[in-house]
Structure 1
Amino acid sequence: VASLQREFSLNPFDDDKLREECGVFGFYGHPDAAAHVALGLHALQHRGQEAAGIVSFDGAHFHSHRSLGSVGDHFSSANVIDQLSGASAIGHVRYSTTGETVIRNVQPLFADLAGGGLAIAHNGNITNATQLRRRLEKRGSIFQSTMDTEVIVHLIATCSSPGFVEKLIDALHHLVGAYSLVIQTNEALIGARDPRGVRPLVLGELDGSYILCSETCALDIIGATFVRDVEPGEVIVIDEVGLRSLQPFPAAVKNRFC
């Protein structure tokens, strides 16, 4: 055990991973999605002050703005919000206890995959990220950051399952640790929570459009209604058809929220 602890504590990739908090916010199907995400991130600012980012999707293209510093430092400008066009958007505020905070480690992380674009924001700590990264690198994956979040992207990219949701579920089954995720693809907003429910994720609604975020205070600031908590191990898919809930993990896992 001691040798394993030394490996993790001396590994720069592990030192740079997200810790304890971070805040995520996703909004699907609203004409002012990015503006509402920015407000939601303001409410979640206590979860991370080191960096903030928003990625939007306008039906054809993804638009991104990521910066070091607080939400107010960069997302109070109408010019920035106007560049984040589209009816869907996700955002992230970053908190870490150790490791270098640089722009390459600011989320949401974006990747242009064979099946379309993918933006992902993550709150949590993938404890087997180092092992997964080494395995993926041996298979040819090239990493652009030191975030454990990027491991999830590469697991999705290398999965042979036909659909994106199937690829994501396959990736989640490789993860050990705590996570709440919001993901924007060309077709859907997706939320996922780890099987033990260690990291929070809630579902809200505003004007018939759905929201996924870390805390209800982010719903309150935009006047949205709290619908329910995302259940431990649950995957929620929101698209033009509506909302569907998937339970890809065994149900008998004790809730350990903190």
Structure 2
Amino acid sequence: MIHEEKLGHYCGVAGVFSESLTNIPVKLFFPLFSLQHRGQESAGIAYRKEDKTVSYRDLGMVSQVLSKYLDGERMSHCGIGHVRYSTHGGNKLENAQPLLVSCNKGDIALAHNGNLTNTQPLKEELVSAGAIFQTTSDSELILHMISHSRKPTFQEALVESLQKIEGAYSLVLLHDDTMITVRDPWGFRPLYIGKKDGMTVVGSETCALDILQITDYREVEPGEIIITDQYGSRSSFLTPKKRNHCAFELIYFARPDSDVYNINVYHQRKKLGKELAIRDEEFFAQTGKEDTIVVPVPDSGNSAALGYAEQAGLPFELGMTRNHYTGRSFIMPTTAERELVVRMKLHPVRKTIAGKRIILVDDSLVRGTTAKILVKLMKEAGAREVHLRLSSPEIRWPCFFGIDIPTRQELISNTLTPDEIANFIDADSVTFLTIEDLQHSLDSPESYCFACFTGEYPIRVPLKQTERERTLRDTKEHQ
């Protein structure tokens, strides 16, 4: 099996409602293109065409799947779009979104970012009632619940359905000629809404609104349901819950120029790098800073490395370049193949690296396979020492709210301590940001979910017994 080495992104959603007829597919193309980093496996749109909803979705990038809509006029009032990374259900065409159904409530299209945690019991109940599922995605469950509801109106059926589901869901739906925007009551996933020139636009991040030059925007509140139609926008709210924003949006997932949770991602990542440098003050007091440079792993480590260099008073150097045309990085079956994939993507700048002590900054460590190759590349380029610094705490638990995190057994921090990891990847040292450092960098740390670091989940999750068991490192630490 081929696995991705980096943590998998969730998905990205977008929606557009225009008071006047406009070329909705084109209006959707650019926000989805801006959200491409959130999902590279499939893309799709659904929009109103006269008195019916039509959709097109396929496997591939936005430019591959949706560029045909840049030619010609397809006038409409509303549409939604989606880019997908398969966190639940696998990479199959039938799981591409938006999902579209015609049922007793009318035409409904849905784009979903996140994962539901109580899918299994709800699905079993629906199947026993005669529901036929066409996908393996948990997103389809929401459509079945709406269609099976006995409430007299769509909006009442939607609210009843949402009150039964748990987990992470930022949703954009079309119901006939109406656009509906929903964010779960915990606020796990980010979602923004903005307006300009009679047009209302929704996107997972603010970069999706920026591309349309929308500056009048706000965060969709946790638990908020926004109905947008020819009469304007109006809100209602689900029962409020304790906020649990995903910290990894700020550490890695979101685009640096975006705002999520009303925080600028770039500046937050610089703060994380500064926290790392503060943690290293004792290290430098013992070793000095001569011939030491800070090098990011592009592009994920760029912002944190800048913050680290500023705080430590060290030169920031782009000592590694990235080939942007190689696609996503995967763990290949053999060591030689894995190394070749990394070498295709990342290249050290030998003249910058040679003879220097390298502070190599990246966002996180999953299995450690890529880090091992990166350290080797640095040393081949003449680095005197390589010290790996990670701007997130150790990842030790699976996520049930949208991140594609491997099993506990596959996560290197469940097997090895930082010192043991350094020995494994042949680095001179490895330091992670602590949870306390991460919380210190946030204005309201009590509003965030840290479950992938701590195992303390904010809501009930379907954790398998094998995932609850102690890891090798747990056993060592309890001996």
Distance 1:142 1:218, change over 3 A: same
Contact 1:219 1:226 in 2 (8 A): no
3-state DSSP class of the match of 1:31?
A: strand
Aligned partners of 2:16, 2:108: CA distance in 1, in Å? 15
1:200 aligns with 2:200: no
Query: Mapping of 1:88-237 within 5 angstroms?
Result: 88-97=78-87, 99-237=89-227
Q: In the TM superposition, what whole-angstrom CA distance separates every residue of 1:129-166 from its partner, at most 9, and x where no partner exists?
A: 12111110001101110110110000000001111111
For 2:200 and 2:155, the matched residues in 1 are separated by 18
Looking at structure 1, the residues matched to 196 and 85 of structure 2 have their Cα atoms a distance apart, in angstroms, of 28
Q: Partner letter of residue 110 of structure 2?
A: I
Tell me which residue corresponds to 2:16. Answer: 27
Q: CA deviation at 1:225?
A: 2.5
1:61 is aligned to 52
Equivalent in 219, 224, 242 of residue 254 of structure 1: 242
- Distance between the aligned counterparts of 1:116 and 1:83, measured in 2? 26
Contact 1:51 1:70 in 2 (8 A): yes
Give the ranges of 4+ consecutive aligned residues of structure 1 lying more than 6 Å apart after TM superposition: none
Contact 1:63 1:84 in 2 (8 A): no
- Residue 187 of structure 1 deviates from its aligned partner by 2.9
Does the C-alpha gap of structure 1 residues 226 and 216 become closer, same or farther in structure 2, counting only changes over 3 Å?
Answer: farther
Rounded Cα–Cα distance in structure 1 between residues aligned with 2:75 and 2:53: 9
Higher relative contact order (CA 8 A, sep 6+): 1
Hey, what does 2:35 align to over in structure 1? 44
Q: Is the 8 A contact 2:202 2:209 kept in 1?
A: no
| Aligned amino acid, residue 22 of structure 2 | P
Distance in 1 (CA, whole Å) between partners of 2:49 and 2:236 is 26
Cα separation, partners in 2 of 1:65 and 1:83, compared to 1, 3 Å: farther
Query: Highest Rg: 1 or 2?
Result: 2
C-alpha spacing 1:63/1:145, structure 2 compared with 1 (3 Å): same
Aligned counterpart, 2:362: none
Describe the shift of the 1:170–1:99 C-alpha distance in structure 2 as closer, same or farther (beyond 3 A). Answer: closer
Q: 1:111 to 1:98 in 2, by over 3 A?
A: closer
Question: What is the TM-score when the length of structure 1 is the normalising length?
Answer: 0.87
Query: Aligned partners of 2:89 and 2:126: how far apart in 1?
Result: 22
Give the CA deviation at 1:254: 2.1
The one-letter code sitting in structure 1 at the alignment partner of 2:179 is L
Deviations 1:25-57 (A, max 9, x none): 000125122111111000000000000000010
The structure that is helix-richer by fraction is 2
Whole-Å separation in 2 of the counterparts to 1:58 and 1:98: 30
Task: Note the C-alpha offset of 1:99.
Answer: 4.9
Structure showing the higher strand proportion among its residues? 1
Distance of 1:20 and 1:135 partners within structure 2:
30
Shift of 1:59: 3.9
The amino acid that maps onto 1:35 is V
Equivalent residue pairs, number:
237
Deviation at 1:77, TM superposition (A): 2.4
CA distance in 2, matches of 1:116, 1:44: 29
Query: 2:418 matched to which residue of 1?
Result: none
Structure 1: distance between partners of 2:76 and 2:153: 23
Gaps of 5+ in 1: 1-18
CA distance in 2, matches of 1:141, 1:99: 18
Where do 5+ consecutive residues of structure 2 fail to align? 1-7, 247-479
Deviations 1:68-88 (A, max 9, x none): 010011222246x64854221
Q: Is the 8 A contact 2:110 2:172 kept in 1?
A: yes
Query: Contact (CA 8 Å) 1:27, 1:37: kept in 2 or not?
Result: yes
Q: For residue 87 of structure 1, give the secondary structure of its aligned residue in structure 2.
A: strand
Residue 220 to residue 45, structure 1, CA distance change in 2 (3 Å): same
Matching residue's letter, 1:203: I
Match for 1:254: what amino acid?
Answer: K
Against the structure 1 CA distance between its residues 152 and 84, is the aligned structure 2 distance closer, same or farther, given a 3 Å change threshold?
farther
Give the drift of 1:222. Answer: 1.3
CA deviation map 1:161-220 (0-9, x unaligned): 111111100000110101100000113100111101001111111212111110100001
Shift in Å, 1:229:
0.4
Structure 2 match to 1:15: none
Partner of 2:377 in structure 1?
A: none
